[in-house]
Structure 1
């Protein structure tokens, strides 16, 4: 039976230092991927809220109600806030914003704009 020889000098602990370095690098990469995913999610959530809010505003105006109030309610239900609400007759142009939680001292926000008109505008009635 032979005994394993221990390295001498500078090589003691070199693998441990490399493993710690790789672990830190992996943590930074994982954090960056999570941060990017959070920003992409905010973009999609803002777009969906803008689309739904514009549709709600347009339908509310056609029903004789306040379109911007309807848009605010729908945006709030979708985790967004209205930045601008413009109504030209029953054509609604809505801009929404979604903000992400702050990670590492930085948060992301995304603004998306959407426009909606009633179906009667398309067929000319």
Structure 2
């Protein structure tokens, strides 16, 4: 490090370049914050898709039961059309309970599946 000033200023350090280091640190923090926000947005979006797929699958299954056909077959078809896969499909009296999973975006090489559950039918409430 170079000292600045004359003989009486031997304890003052040259601070040139300190703003660049601070700027680089700020950019790094901004990048980290942006990546974290993208991860959260991806998880929230995936969960909303899972909830929608579960709701639609449960409604399709309940309608099929009222028509006298297999509700779980219709639930699987509707869930698949919405990018989900059926985990469980259970007829509970007049109701159908459906659990689905949706694959979220792969982040940093790690896959994430998000579950959702829905109930539909005459007795649901």
TM-score range, shorter chain: 0.7 to 0.9
* Greater radius of gyration (CA): 2
**82, 86, 96: which one pairs with 2:86?**
82
2:64 aligned residue: 60
Relative contact order, CA 8 A, sep 6+: which one is greater? 1
Q: CA RMSD in A?
A: 2.1
Please say if 1:44 is aligned against 2:48. Answer: yes
Decide which moves more: 9-18 or 80-89: 9-18
Q: Which runs of 5 or more structure 1 residues have no equivalent in the other structure?
A: 1-7
Per-residue deviation, residues 58-115 of structure 1 (Å, max 9, x unmatched) = 1112222221111011111111111110013542100111121211233433211111
Contact 1:57 1:68 in 2 (8 A): yes
**Following superposition, which runs of at least 4 residues in structure 1 exceed 4 angstroms of deviation?**
none
Using the size of structure 2 for normalisation, the TM-score is: 0.80
**15, 18, 22: which one pairs with 2:26?**
22
Using the size of structure 1 for normalisation, the TM-score is: 0.80
Q: Which runs of 5 or more structure 2 residues have no equivalent in the other structure?
A: 5-12
